[in-house]
Chain A
C-alpha cells in the first residue's frame, strides 16, 4: 500500500473513534473491563514501540547506542524534564556515542 493511502486511511480511522465517541450512548462503554482494556491498550502499544524503536533494526534485535540514550531518557522523564529536552538529550547521547566512541 502506498504511504499516502496509509496516511489518509489512518487519519480517517483515528478521527472515527473521536466522532464515534461523540455519538455513542454513554452506557455502551461503561463496562469496567472495556475501559480497562482501552487504557491498557494505549500502554501496551506505546511500550511495544519502545521495544521496536529502541532495540531492533530491520526486524533483528540490535542493541546499540540507543540503549544508553534510552536510559538517559528514562532518568530525565522520571526527573520531570520537559518532553522536548528529554528527546533532544536522548538523540544527543546516541549521536555523540556514534561519532566519538565508535558505537553502532
Chain B
C-alpha cells in the first residue's frame, strides 16, 4: 500500500471524471447566460471569477429581470455562495495553506473539490483530491462556458429553443442532491410556492430572497427535523 501509485492514479481519474462531468454542464450555463442577455465576456467573468455553479445560474436568472433586478441578482448569488465558506472552514485544517496558495485554494473551494477531498482517508490524498478536482473542474467548466455562450448567442429567441424551461430544469438538478433530509424537502417545496406566489407583488429578483427566508425560519427553529441527524452545510 505504502509504495503503490495505484490509489493516486485512481484518485486522478476520479478528479478528471468529476471535472469533465461538472464541466459539461458549463455548456448549459454559457447558453443560458447568453439567453439571459449577458454578453460573452460577462459570462466568462462569472465562470472565471465567481466560479460557483449555483451562484452563477442564480445571477443570470435573476439579472434577466432587467437593470432593476441586478442588485437582487448580486444578493442571490452571494447568499448561494455561503456554503463555499463552510467548505473552506472544513478544508483549512486539511490543506494548511499560506499566502498566495491559500487564495488560489479558496478560488477552487466548491461542491466538487470538497466532495472528492473528504471522501479520501489519508491527508495527502485529501489534498491531492482537492487540488486535482478543483483544477479539473476549473479547466473544463470555463472551456465549456465559452462554448455554451457561443451556442447561446447563435440560437436567437430563447423561448423557441425551450431555454427558459432549461433554466428551470437546471435548478431542479442543482437542488435535487440536497433533498435527502425531510426538513430540506419541506423547505424546498415551501420556497417554490412562496417565490411563485409573491412574484406578482414585489419587484423582480425579490421573490427568491423572500423564499430564502423560509430557510432562516425553519433553520433557526429546527422545525421538521429528522430524528437527531446532523445536517451538513
Contacts and interface: CB of A to CB of B under 8 A. Distances in A.
A49 B172 CA distance: 9
Given A22-B106, A39-B231, A83 B173 contact: yes
A83 B20 CA distance: 12
Interface residues of B, number: 106
Given A14-B81, A37-B216, A50 B165 contact: no
Given A10-B50, A21-B92, A53 B173 contact: no
A95 B183 CA distance: 35
Nearest to A78: B176
Q: How many interface residues does chain A have, given as a range?
A: 35 or more
Interface in A19-50: 19-24, 26, 28-29, 32-33, 35-50
A interface: dominant SS: helix
A21 B215 contact: no
B82 A41 contact: yes
B216 to A, nearest CB: 6
A15 interface: yes
A52 B107 CA distance: 29
Contacts of A73: 165, 168-169, 172-173
Interface in B152-186: 159-176, 178-179, 183-184
A59 to B, nearest CB: 6
A65 B103 CA distance: 44
A101 interface: no
A9 to B, nearest CB: 5
The prevalent SS among residues of B at the interface is: helix
Nearest to B185: A43
B172 A74 contact: yes
Interface in A54-96: 54-56, 59-61, 65-66, 69-70, 73-74, 77-78, 82-84, 86-96
A86 to B, nearest CB: 6
Contacts of B82: 17, 38, 41-42
A99 B233 contact: no
B18 interface: no
Contacts of A6: 59, 63, 70-71, 73-74
B51 to A, nearest CB: 8
B13 interface: no
B194 A48 contact: yes
A4 interface: yes
A35 B233 CA distance: 5
B83 to A, nearest CB: 5
Task: Report, nearest first, the 6 A-B pairs whose CB atoms are least far apart.
Answer: A21-B88, A48-B211, A94-B162, A37-B219, A90-B169, A91-B162
12 contacts: A4-B42, A15-B50, A37-B219, A42-B83, A43-B175, A43-B215, A46-B188, A47-B191, A53-B168, A55-B196, A83-B28, A91-B161
Interface of B: 21, 24-25, 27-28, 37-38, 42, 45-46, 49-52, 54-55, 57-59, 61-63, 65, 67, 70-71, 73-74, 76-89, 91-93, 97, 102-103, 105-107, 109, 159-176, 178-179, 183-184, 187-197, 199-200, 203-204, 207-208, 210-216, 218-220, 222, 230-233
